[in-house]
Structure 1
Amino acid sequence: MSAVSVLSVRLPVCPSISTSIYLSITPSLSSNQVSDDRKTYFVKIHAPWEVLATYADVLKIKVPFKENDIPYCFFIQDIPMDWLFTPFRLPDHVMNPEPDYFTSPFNKGKIDFFLIDDKETFFPPSVRNRIVYYILARCPYHKTDREDKKGIKRLLNNGTYGSAFPLHDSRYWKPSRDSNSESERFNLYKHWAQFFSFFKEQPLNLIRKYYGEKIGIYFAWLGFYTEMLFFAAVVGLICFLYGLFTFDDNVWSKEICSEEIGGNIIMCPLCDKKCGYWKLNSTCNSSWQSHMFDNVGTVFFAIFMGIWVTLFLEFWKRRQARLEYEWDLVDFEEEQQQLQLRPEYETKCTSRRLNRVTQMEPYLPVTSQCARTFLSGATVIFWISLIIACIIGVIAYRLAVYAAFASIMKDSPTNNIHMVGSLITPQLATSVTASCINFVIIMILNLMYERVAIWITDMEIPKTHLEYENKLTVKMFLFQFVNYYSSCFYVAFFKGKFVGHPGDYIYMFGWSKLRNEECDPGGCLIELTTQLVIVMSGKQVWGNVQEALVPWVMNRWGSRKARSHPESRYSRWEQDHDLQNFGHLGLFYEYLEMVIQFGFITLFVASFPLAPLLALLNNIIEVRVDAWKFTTQFRRPVASKAHSIGAWQEILNGVAVLSVVTNVTFTSDMIPRLVYMYAYSNDLSMKGYINNSLSVFNISGFSEDNRPDDGESPGWFNSSVITTCRYRDYRYPSGHEKEYSHTMQFWHILAAKLAFIIIMEHVAFMVKFFVAWMIPDVPSEVKARIKRERYLIQEYLHNYEVFFPA
């Protein structure tokens, strides 16, 4: 029996369709290849050895010619206490389904040069189905004087064929019927796709053998990212515990909570009319909560994450270089993808011109291309503006409902900090509800824009599939970047910065009913943490449920009738046909999800040190959900090559650079506290910091529009006794020659923040470049193996030509 790569092609009932698909490979159509509905027919494409060998030569597929003779310890040193890692390991036949060989591009004229034990198994399944699909993608089906129509992709696009896919090798829950060989799909399900294997290593070589290099690279990157998250999660947890266990050293929170200090500080209203005066100790709980995330350990963690992200990207380059060699991708270039035109491009572009590489080819006129690009750019700008408008709407909601919450909660027992009622403040209620509304808006806009992004990318008519993916990647990431992060940027860098001062407040768009928000005396960090937790956690939970549930429900519904038939009547091709199709953008969405998560744990991680821990837990589940989905819920995708994660690498680099800036400038009160301790404290302690950080305003200076309505202030407030209130700022009091202008301490703090930003950015970037210089992208042992392999190829070919002349 010759080597076979099975490709099932679903055809609609059409008498004019011949059983020959215009291939030199003759398909077979028998009665048992008609589906249960008697309307769908299946054609099996069979590739014998001669065809496989010919196209392996054409595609320069690398095959083994000699066993590896480099000692194992040459490139991987023995690990001390190796037995500790035994529980995490898989059987060797699963981790390494093939021996380690030196490889060389296949040459059909030098068959004896290669290690061919059995022609039936010489080419792995992923290579066989890639060759067959390569043939189908170039097979002509209509020829005229003006053009040649060719390719299964065009036929799928115009509806001539319903689907085309390679078959899985067996049912995923059953071993192979052949007792001499194991089912690769069964091994993947047993050792990789089950959730209880979450602590096991991934069988990357088996994934690559079964699904191809492109999917293998994705799971290698996801696994490596998850491993690196472990270190960030541990350090983040330590920083969080440091904040938790240093409550007793938190002097400023003690001052806020004490009846003598915080209980005697009367704060100015936080909104007009509906907000009354309040005591500082009512924010006791939020002050303690802020300390868990805003402490000295947080600054250290921000510096650590700047170094971590650099190490992650550099070590991934090294890991990628190893995979490039091990998977024979060192000399791989995506020239074929760059030369192969998309069927949609050939269909819509009627003009033709001379190409020095491909000769006559269709092309899109420059005027049409410019018009389409302009319309595409305008559409992207419109949708980004729509996001910004939605964020402004959420901000307006926060400003409007804060007054309502303040009015409702004015009678809550805030004087006793131990009572449950004091845990729910107007600030917290506003923040949580606004974050939930923002998350719903994000998800709705995502669903809408996903279709818009595909539509405008199709409208641009990209020339190749690679160009199509790159254009779509930029559009989707740019949109999701603004969609997911804009609300966090608002809280981190804008909220509380442009509020003015009592008697001269700043209003949103100048509308007197929307006074800009102020931060709590404890800062805005806890609100940023709330926003980050709700959006990040909500996205991760929703994403995992959607990825696991939607394919399962659709498969159950699609195969509901066929499942009632006995196994003998439910053929393998029908079983696979009832599974979900893994489109050419399947991995795009997987990468996009992880890159958005990467932004959350790098851009704003200083405000929530537990973010890497949440991401780690999510990714442990994500790996197994994706594995289960690929193994059980999707048709087997056509294998394709990729030597890297593509455009996502540059996006990760951009996010990493931006994270250095955001983490050293995040919303934190550490700089004002340090300035006070070293420049304004008599004993280098934090005693008196709260009183120092609050300015004084004369209540008589309130205008009628700012003054609380009658009955809004609490019962303890007596305007005849209390004549001043405090607010968060550094300004001179009433009666001073520079009344309500900024004090020198304000400018000292501003200078300290700028100095800290500049120093930290330079230190972070210096570390980044130093680490990048110290860690070469390609490990030395990989370079040695590449040189050794090239030397052997040259030597073996020379000897072959001498002893086996043509």
Structure 2
Amino acid sequence: MEIDKSQQSKDSVFFRDGVRRVDFVLSYIDDKDGERKQERRREYEANLEKAGLELETEDKSESEDGKTYFLKIHAPWEVLATYADVLKIKVPFKANDIPNHTEIPMNWLSTPFRLPDHIMHPEPDFFTAPFNKSKSDFFLIDDKETFFPPSTRNRIVRTSSYKDKKGIKRLLNNGTYTSAFPLHDCRYWTRSRDLNCESERYNLYKYWARFLCFFKEQPLNLIRKYYGEKIGIYFAWLGFYTEMLFFAAVVGVICFIYGLLTYSENEWSYEICSEEIGGKIVMCPLCDKKCGYWKLNSTCNSSWQSHLFDNVGTVFFAIFMGIWVTLFLEFWKRRQARLEYEWDLVDFEEEQQQLQLRPEYETKCTNRRLNRITQVFVVGSLITPQLATSVTASCINFVIIMILNLMYERVAIWITDMEIPKTHLEYENKLTVKMFLFQFVNYYSSCFYVAFFKGKFVGYPGDYAYMFGSHLRNEECDPGGCLIELTTQLVIVMTGKQVWGNIQEALLQCPPKPYRGQCFPLTVISPTSLLSVSPVIQFGFITLFVASFPLAPLLALFNNIIEIRVDAWKFTTQFRRPVAAKAHSIGAWAEILSGVAVLSVVTNAFIVAFTSDMIPRLVYMYAYSSDSGISMKGYINDSLSVFNISEIPDRSRPEDGENPSWFNSSITTCRYRDYRYPPGHEKQYSHTMKFWHILAAKLAFIIIMEFFVAWMIPDVPSEVKARIKRERYLVQEYLHNYEVEKLKMQLSQNGHSECTCTPMIYPSLTKHEVLSECL
């Protein structure tokens, strides 16, 4: 019996009979090409009904734009049970009887950050096993209509829609349908008065999506229940990453404060700024023809600024971050293993849900080959002036990066489409790798250049190094050093990317095509794309180059706190509900993060050794200081080599008018950054022994740092291993007892006395052979 439309709540997620749940919705609009599309829709909908799905259409007069039809789809028990069996969906068969002994010391400290238990744990804890339709009475089924949650139901309907050769994605691409999506639960801003409507969306908004909840833990179990494991695992990773950033941010701030507190103790900066020392040191030109001679004290301001990031704390912070990134990955593996168990993803293979080929693959690949196993033919595959210059250059570089990023995204998709991946999982993994490689080059290349190439291979005044023959002299760092340039580059690119990302998200608008008051953008951001455009690139910034800017983790922490709540708000209030999908990990990103982590230990060691001036200063302090005690007095003069101006070749000499007014012919030598013998020495302009001592110290630091951060931690916690073994044992025991009881029941129904034979007595026999033995 149908309910009167005028009496049905706009929050209703049921058919007009008020009984059958709407598990999926397709929308379409009749247009000038309507006859052809109508034929496609009739054929497709007939196939859906043939597969056992039930359909009901909302007339366009019921839609808010007066043009859109909505086709509602309901999956009855037979369809749900069949596909749950095929997809090996795990369902409960016994309450979990393992006591939880994971008490946290001083647990009361975390009380302000915790959420109510019914939000954190919306479902009882059960032992689960893959659903078997033929043994449905083995599982804890109280009500068949609510046994499978909405997220599982919409995943099953989505999977069944691909059984048709005219899969739903192809019909969306050719305009037969305008969109396909599962429904949200009722309203999010207030609890629904409809008792049949779940309040999960409202709870997600109240406890997760509001910014005032930024200091609270995330209700991961509720996210997983509502959106599926794939989105759940993404927010679990992002939340864990943000938690770990807190420790990196604290240490980074401490190192920055150390730089501030030791600001006045920066003896080499005093020497640079001194008129008696820095004011009398004439430096060689930094470029050919257009650069003149300059005095060292002109870099006074940048020298003081550089000390904030280039001090003893930098060495400590680089080592700490090497340990941090290793611990981050190992602890995430442990957190992931715990989630795999709690979310019934142990032994789950993502290929289980890739039962259907991508429609694009079937369309473009027509050659077939024989599968030797199945014998079936399948489709085959084919601020100072110098600082102002650095800031301006970094800003221009950032604009170019953002423009190239748009191009790279399209190129990555185009190349992946050209490869015609077979399954959705394969397509996603291939696209993920390409997107990261493009973005890795785009975002990090300028930082790699400044950190490891700029100013490293310039030669010396009499023998400069050139690129492309003799036309382009290798670039030198700003007078303040390469580290302050790297810091500037990192701050502008990293911060600019985060700000631009937030601006883009704020500009997203809801299109005027709602269904029963629910607003859905035309596209849904997948967890993979979310991951690719923000946190992973950010992870690279704070690990690969963090030694140059200790405050980077703090900026990332603030950004992620906002990012989590903004993403939660969008998923809960702005995006249509995505189709639930399972995933036991973050997919291809796990290997990418591991690769970045290994590379970061190397890059930070090299930044401290070769980009920072810290190692040369320490070598001077402990081995070459002229004072009786440990001192940096005289370091500036010691770190600069001397060159005879008359020996500078004509192509490198400053043009007329380029030299400052104080420069005159009485100045016969200039200084440059290097450790070379002075003119007149028998080994003039070759490297001094001090150069080799410093190089050895740099290499020793790199080796020690690499060794120091080689930590090994078990990937899976011991209590999780015990729970997994316990669950596997119980599944076997309960299934055995279940089979024995069924045998007894069959025998009693056939008039035989109770059989004492059990499958355990005849382990090599089948159930029917045991039955024969008993008879």
TM-score, normalised by the number of residues in structure 1: 0.84
Residue of structure 2 in register with 1:441 after alignment: 400
Corresponding residue to 2:79 among 51, 55, 75: 51
The answer to whether residue 470 in structure 2 is matched with residue 454 in structure 1 is: no
Question: Are 2:23 and 2:150, in contact at CA under 8 Å, matched by a contact in 1?
Answer: no
CA distance in 2, matches of 1:248, 1:327: 55
Shift of 1:681: 1.9
Letter in 1 for 2:77: W
Work out which of the residue numbers 361, 367, 391 in structure 2 matches 1:345. Answer: 361
| Contact 2:435/2:532 (<8 A) preserved | no
Partner of 1:669: 613
Counterpart of 1:22, as a letter, is L
Answer whether contact 1:255 1:261 (CA < 8 A) is retained.
yes
Classify the secondary structure of the residue corresponding to 2:505: helix
Q: Within 1, Cα distance between the matches of 2:716 and 2:240?
A: 16
Return closer, same or farther for 1:705/1:656 CA change in 2, 3 Å cut-off. same
Structure 1 position 35 matched with structure 2 position 63? yes
1:734 to 679, 689, 693: 679
The 10-residue stretch of structure 1 (150-159 or 494-503) with the greater mean CA deviation from structure 2: 150-159
One-letter identity of the residue aligned with 1:100: D
Matched, 1:691 2:651: no
2:653 to 672, 687, 707: 707
3-state secondary structure, aligned to 2:468: helix
Aligned partner letter, 1:676: Y
**C-alpha distance in structure 2 between counterparts of 1:796 and 1:272, whole Å:** 83
Q: Check 1:182–1:35 CA distance in 2 against 1; reply closer, same or farther (3 A cut).
A: closer
The Cα offsets for residues 668-706 of structure 1, whole Å up to 9 and x where unpaired, read as: 111211222233223332111100011112223334443
2 CA distance for matches of 1:358 and 1:641?
Answer: 27
Deviation of 1:496 after TM superposition, in Å, equals: 0.9
* Structure 1 pair 521–545 and aligned structure 2 pair: CA distance change class (3 A): closer
SS at match of 1:90: coil
Q: Give the AA of the match of 2:620.
A: Y
Cα 1:457–1:361 change in 2 (3 A) is farther
Two-structure CA RMSD over aligned residues (Å): 2.2
**Matching residue of 1:763:** 708
Answer yes or no: is the 8 Å Cα contact 2:179–2:522 preserved in 1: no
Q: Work out which of the residue numbers 463, 471, 494 in structure 1 matches 2:422.
A: 463
Secondary structure at 1:45 match in 2: strand
Paired position in structure 1 for 2:445: 486
Alignment of 1:563-602 (within 5 A): 571-572=515-516, 575-576=518-519, 578-582=520-524, 585=526, 587-602=528-543
Q: Equivalent residue for 1:391?
A: none
Q: Indicate whether 1:175 and 2:113 are aligned.
A: no
Aligned match of 2:668 in 718, 723, 733? 723
Name the amino acid aligned to 1:616: L
CA distance in 1, matches of 2:586, 2:291: 53
Following superposition of structure 1 onto structure 2, how do residues 46-195 of structure 1 map, counting pairs within 5 Å?
Answer: 46-73=74-101, 76-80=102-106, 82-138=107-163, 140=164, 149-179=165-195, 182-195=198-211
CA distance in structure 1 between the partners assigned to 2:678 and 2:479 by the alignment:
18
Structure 2 letter corresponding to 1:442: I
Measured in 1, the distance between the counterparts of 2:374 and 2:67 equals 40
Once the two structures are overlaid, the 10-residue window that deviates more, 496-505 or 638-647, is 496-505
d(CA) in 2 for partners of 1:343, 1:357: 24
Q: 1:171 to 1:581 in 2, by over 3 A?
A: farther
Partner of 2:339: 323
1:278 and 2:294 matched: yes
Which residue in 1 is equivalent to 2:248?
232
Q: Quickly say closer, same or farther: Cα 1:469–1:180, change in 2 above 3 A.
A: closer
Shift of 1:661: 1.1
Out of 699, 708, 729, the position equivalent to 1:791 is: 729
AA partner of residue 25 (structure 1): L
Task: Note if contact 2:184-2:518 (Cα within 8 Å) is conserved in structure 1.
Answer: no
Q: CA deviation at 1:211?
A: 0.3
Q: Tell whether the 8 Å contact from 2:273 to 2:279 is kept in structure 1 after alignment.
A: yes
Show the counterpart of 2:547.
606
Evaluate the alpha carbon distance shift between residue 438 and residue 571 of structure 1 in structure 2; reply closer, same or farther with a 3 A threshold.
Answer: closer
SS at match of 1:201: coil
Aligned to 1:382: none
Partners of 1:347 and 1:273 lie apart in 2 by 62
Partner residue of 1:418? none
Alpha-carbon shift at residue 352 of structure 1 (Å): 1.6
**Pairwise mapping of residues 185-334 of structure 1 onto structure 2 (< 5 A)?**
185-334=201-350
Cα distance 1:357–1:535, how it changes in 2: closer, same or farther (>3 A)? farther
Supply the distance in 1 between the matched residues of 2:479 and 2:160 (Cα, whole angstroms): 69
Q: Is the 8 A contact 1:352 1:360 kept in 2?
A: no
Change (3 A) 1:339 1:516: same
- Deviation of the 1:342 alpha carbon: 0.9
| 1:734 partner SS | coil
Contact 1:20 1:26 in 2 (8 A): no
Partner residue, 2:53:
25
Cα distance in 2 for partners of 1:94, 1:338 equals 31
Q: Do 1:33 and 1:43's aligned partners in 2 also have CA atoms closer than 8 Å?
A: no
Deviation of 1:608 (Å): 0.8
CA distance in 2, matches of 1:499, 1:452: 36
Q: What SS does structure 1 have at the residue aligned with 2:330? A: helix
Query: Counterpart in 2 of 1:678?
Result: 622
Residue of structure 2 aligned with 1:626, choices 550, 559, 567 = 567
Aligned match of 1:9: 26
CA contact (8 A) 1:2 1:120 kept: no
Partner of 1:495: 454
> Mean alpha-carbon deviation: is it higher for 256-265 or for 689-698?
256-265
Q: Is 1:336 matched up with 2:352?
A: yes
Paired with 1:358 and 1:285, the residues of 2 have a C-alpha distance of: 74
Partners of 1:691 and 1:123 in 2: how far apart? 76
User: Contact between 1:5 and 1:132, CA under 8 Å: does it hold in 2?
Assistant: no
Q: Deviations over 1:349-368 (max 9, x none)?
A: 11122224565344346xxx
- CA deviation profile, 1:6-53 (whole Å, cap 9, x unmatched): 211123423434264532223112436753455432111112233323
Would you say the 8 A contact 1:213–1:640 is kept in 2? yes
Distance 1:510 1:30 in 2: 73
CA contact (8 A) 2:60 2:68 kept: no
Structure 2 length normalisation: TM-score? Answer: 0.88
8 Å Cα contact 1:66/1:102 also seen in 2:
yes
Label 1:586 to 1:318 Cα distance change in 2 as closer, same or farther (>3 A).
closer
Q: String of CA shifts for 1:97-136, please: whole Å, max 9, x gaps.
A: 1111111222334344322333332211101111111211
Q: Is the 8 A contact 1:193 1:625 kept in 2?
A: yes
SS at match of 1:582: coil
Closer/same/farther in 2, CA of residues 361 and 152 from structure 1, 3 Å limit: farther
Aligned-residue offset at 1:718:
3.2
